[in-house]
Structure 1
């Protein structure tokens, strides 16, 4: 995925097993970020950073959605434990992760493995990719994203 591409449509279940679609956000900007596993240190840091910056992002007209391969029950624990205030979506078949280029070969501890590639996208009001970032760091990523978006 690259800026200017049409964002692939999706409908996934959230932590309460309610369907959430990208089309639900038509007409507004939304950050869609992909992470490997709920309740792990890096993914928790990243989710809490989004949570802690959500008011400023929302004021700038930007919603946030997190997507991982975790099942809704695990996401529900994650949401409750860390008081996450934005949707966490479940993609256990990794279909959406793959379509968005957020699942595939990556380097981990010096070895090539298949897995979730920590990625962040900004989808504009028309459903087009405005920003595409792959292999982002969990720590400091939200602050950098806010700087890049002038939020």
Structure 2
């Protein structure tokens, strides 16, 4: 697995001690990582059936922590890595947490479903009477044939 070491700010309780975290490379992001990130997004339906557009800064924190749990593979803190105990993220200095949040921006971009192409060009193997969304071939209902018995 490809990883990189990130230097973290000095821990106030341990001055002069080098702090670091080892993170997976953004290129190693997989479907499970995207699912975990999406689960951290809270959308609520309003009474009219649309989406409630209420936003909280805590939503961004939850998304960051969901991803940090999956990408931190080791660190210098005398705490369990977040994969073993997600609450460890609450115990690190705020400067270190902010450094980690900044470092996972490329990871988030790699998983951001809003920025991915939702259509692709048809290939010769695709039917001329189909359209594609994210690589799935969806038959054109105007050319579908139905049979009755």
Whether these two folds match at TM > 0.5 is no
Q: Smaller-chain TM-score range?
A: under 0.3
Larger radius of gyration: 2
Give TM-score scaled by structure 1 length: 0.25
